[in-house]
């Protein structure tokens, strides 16, 4: 009888113990990341701003450990710019992936790994982590909002020069790409 009682108590204790929540894979099909690149300079009215689609290769979110990580295959980034002719869009695409900017042959992956995630309530979070881009790693802080059905949204401004990228200049700098680019994201888990 004591053995049955001990087994019953053990079963209740195991059932009542907090269950660990497994990490969630990032839903790469329903996640979206976009980079907005802006122009500047005396003749900037002759140039174009750029919209770049940044598909997420893989990632995970661990709610128990409060960590998130993302990996992007830099070669899969695509210049969308619907107002550009296909030839001009292809030129912008080649410049972006080439040695002048991302240099995807040398630096094929862009990664983010969180170091801290702080919840502020009302679905707002501050996420700090390390962004590795163009062979350099720097800490960045993101303001994130949790939305509907497991979506997390936000944006960040990044300086290209902080990652060893020199913004492209045309006509001796009369038209150039701004150093700061805006990254917008909607991550689904």
* Residue 71, strand partner residues: 58, 111
Least confident of 15-19, 86-90, 132-136: 15-19
47 vs 111: CA distance, rounded Å: 30
131 vs 140: CA distance, rounded Å: 7
**Given pLDDT bands bounded at 50, 70 and 90, which one contains residue 38?**
confident
Q: What is the pLDDT of residue 170?
A: 65
147 vs 155: CA distance, rounded Å: 14
Q: What is the pLDDT of residue 20?
A: 58
Helix (H) or strand (E) holding 9: helix 2-16
- What domains are defined for the chain? 21-188 (2.40.128.110)
**Given pLDDT bands bounded at 50, 70 and 90, which one contains residue 14?**
very low
Q: Give yes or no for a contact between 31 and 186, defined as CB atoms under 8 angstroms apart.
A: yes
pLDDT tens digit sequence for 147-160: 777 899 999 999 99
Q: Give yes or no for a contact between 67 and 54, defined as CB atoms under 8 angstroms apart.
A: no
Q: Give yes or no for a contact between 186 and 47, defined as CB atoms under 8 angstroms apart.
A: no
96 vs 77: CA distance, rounded Å: 9
64 vs 162: CA distance, rounded Å: 32
pLDDT tens digit sequence for 104-154: 999 999 999 999 999 998 899 999 999 999 999 999 999 999 877 789 999
Question: Could you tell me what percent of the chain has a pLDDT over 90?
Answer: 60
The count of residues in the chain is: 189
- Residues near 31 by Cβ (< 8 Å), separated by ≥ 6? 56, 59, 185, 186, 187, 188
CA-nearest of 138, 114, 141, 140 to 126 is 141
Which pTM was predicted?
0.81
Tokens of 171: 């006509």
Q: What is the mean pLDDT of residues 13-42?
A: 73
Residue showing tokens 């060893």: 164
176 or 159: which leads in pLDDT: 159
């Amino acid at each position: 009888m004591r053995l049955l009682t001990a087994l019953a108590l053990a079963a209740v204790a195991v059932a009542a113990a907090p269950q660990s929540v497994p990490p969630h894979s990032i839903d790469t099909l329903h996640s979206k990341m976009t980079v907005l690149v802006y122009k500047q300079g005396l003749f900037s009215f002759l140039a174009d701003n750029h919209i770049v689609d940044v598909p997420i290769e893989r990632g995970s979110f661990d709610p128990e450990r409060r960590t998130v990580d993302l990996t992007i295959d830099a070669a899969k980034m695509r210049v969308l710019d619907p107002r550009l002719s296909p030839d001009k869009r292809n030129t912008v695409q080649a410049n972006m992936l080439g040695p002048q900017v991302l240099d995807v042959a040398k630096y094929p992956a862009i990664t983010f790994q969180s170091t801290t995630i702080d919840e502020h309530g009302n679905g707002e979070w501050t996420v700090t982590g390390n962004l590795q881009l163009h062979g350099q790693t720097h800490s960045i802080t993101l303001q994130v909002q949790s939305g509907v059905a497991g979506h997390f949204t936000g944006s960040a401004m990044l300086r290209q020069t902080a990652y060893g990228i020199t913004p492209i200049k045309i006509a001796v700098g009369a038209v150039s790409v701004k150093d700061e680019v805006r990254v917008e994201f909607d991550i689904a888990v």
